Amino acid sequence: RKEVEQDPGPFNVPEGATVAFNCTYSNSASQSFFWYRQDCRKEPKLLMSVYSSGNEDGRFTAQLNRASQYISLLIRDSKLSDSATYLCVVNSGGYQKVTFGIGTKLQVIP
């Protein structure tokens, strides 16, 4: 089983839709969780951290479910500019070392 698993998509959604991605992780000792965003032909950039209590940043909400070992990202009122690949990132306690998922591609359609 892969350490971090994501559905690669693509998820094609109309503007204004709500879309959610899940990411599962295999190591129950994992400490920290993040979502990165990668635009086409660009480098990944941190979107948001995922806290045990969940966190929200505008239209984006990230949640952690430790019992089922997954994190989620919810995007409300999708914009064309949200089109990108969303990478799930998990830190399992190794020194500064993280594991990236393969990413979920989102395409927001006009």
Partner 1 sequence: DVKVTQSSRYLVKRTGEKVFLECVQDMDHENMFWYRQDPGLGLRLIYFSYDVKMKEKGDIPEGYSVSREKKERFSLILESASTNQTSMYLCASSAGTGFSYNEQFFGPGTRLTVL
Which chain residues interact with partner 1 by CB under 8 A?
8, 31-32, 34, 42-46, 87, 91, 93-103
35 versus 78: smaller Cβ distance to partner 1: 35
58 versus 94: smaller Cβ distance to partner 1: 94
7 versus 76: smaller Cβ distance to partner 1: 7
What are residue 80's phi and psi, to 5 degrees?
A: -55, -35
CA-to-CA distance for 12 and 51, rounded, in angstroms? 28
List residues bridging with 57 in a β-sheet: 60
48 versus 78: smaller Cβ distance to partner 1: 48
CA-to-CA distance for 44 and 84, rounded, in angstroms? 10
CB of 31 to partner 1, least distance (A): 8
* Token pair 């984006």: residue: 60
What letter would DSSP give residue 10?
-
CB of 46 to partner 1, least distance (A): 5
CB of 45 to partner 1, least distance (A): 7
Secondary structure of residue 14 in the 3-state scheme: strand
